[in-house]
Amino acid sequence: MDELNREAESAPLIKFFTKLQPLAPAVIELCEAHTYRVKIKKNALLVCPEAVCSECLFFIIKGAVRGFILDDDKDITVWLTDENNLIGNFRNPGIPKMNYKEHMQALEDTELLVLPYDLIDQLYAKFPETNVIGRKLLAIHYHISQERSILSRIPSAEARYKQFKETHPLLHFRVPVKFLASYLGMRIETLSRLRKKSKQENNLIG
């Protein structure tokens, strides 16, 4: 691929990083050289393309993705996200208490940028200032995860639904009801009833 295309491909990621920390031209060049776009179909599972890397992160250019775990074969949605977010299995330098494997599934036809861990390791080693970006990104992800954790502990199902709708006004319409119900810790019937009630209220206001 020529340089111009490479530049265009990784532009959204460079923009995202630059908001956290100014990037040296050599850092941008390395990112452009070692990231690449992939497209996956709705419902497909996200896996790192083995040919290029065994371990990677993804940056969502267009589309929406859910994270889920299997607990005794029960599928539980643990996060939902969309454009301009970094997803994947972040390495854990600590000792995990729970043993779970997070899977990822596209909720729509989705376009992603692949960030192989080889690139991430190179960035940290060659350009120590990229650790600042890593630190800030992980702080952001820590807070997003805390929000998910707090949301699920709100006792009223209606309050959880309203909170999600307020904080994710667009994503809310893009997620199939069965996944959203699982994420919000309620039965599909409860979510359908809450959605109907909310629609009626909106109609009254409108």
Site residues, a copy of itself (CB under 8 A): 20, 69, 71-72, 74, 76-79, 90-94, 96-98, 100, 102, 124, 128-129, 131-132, 134-136, 138-155, 159, 163, 167-168, 182-183, 185
CB-wise, 41 or 97, nearer to a copy of itself?
A: 97
3-state secondary structure of 81: strand
CA distance 181 to 190: 8
Q: How many residues does the chain have?
A: 206
DSSP state letters, 44-74: PBP---TTT-SSEEEEEEES-EEEEEEETTE
In whole angstroms, the minimum distance from the beta carbon of 160 to a copy of itself comes to: 10
Give the residue with the Cβ less far from a copy of itself, 131 or 200: 131
In angstroms, what CA-CA distances link 198 with 17, 135, 180, 186, 190?
Answer: 37, 39, 15, 16, 12
Query: Taking the complex as a whole, how short is the minimal distance between the CB of residue 28 and a copy of itself, in angstroms?
Result: 19
Closest CB to a copy of itself among residues 16, 36: 16
* Token pair of 191 as six digits: 């979510």
Tokens of 38: 């992939």
Residue (7 or 189) nearer to a copy of itself, CB: 189
Shortest gap between Cβ of 204 and a copy of itself (angstroms)? 23
The smaller minimum CB distance to a copy of itself, of residues 36 and 127, is found at 127
- For residue 73, count CB atoms less than 10 angstroms from its CB and return exposed for 0-12, middle for 13-18, buried for 19 or more: exposed
DSSP string, 6-43: HHHHHHHHHHHHHHHS---HHHHHHHHHH-EEEEE-TT
Report, in Å, the least distance between residue 206 CB and a copy of itself. 25
Report phi then psi at 80, rounded to 5: -140, 135
Q: How far is the CB of 87 from a copy of itself (least distance, A)?
A: 12
Nearer to a copy of itself, 48 or 80 (CB): 80
Write down the least CB distance from residue 138 to a copy of itself, Å.
4
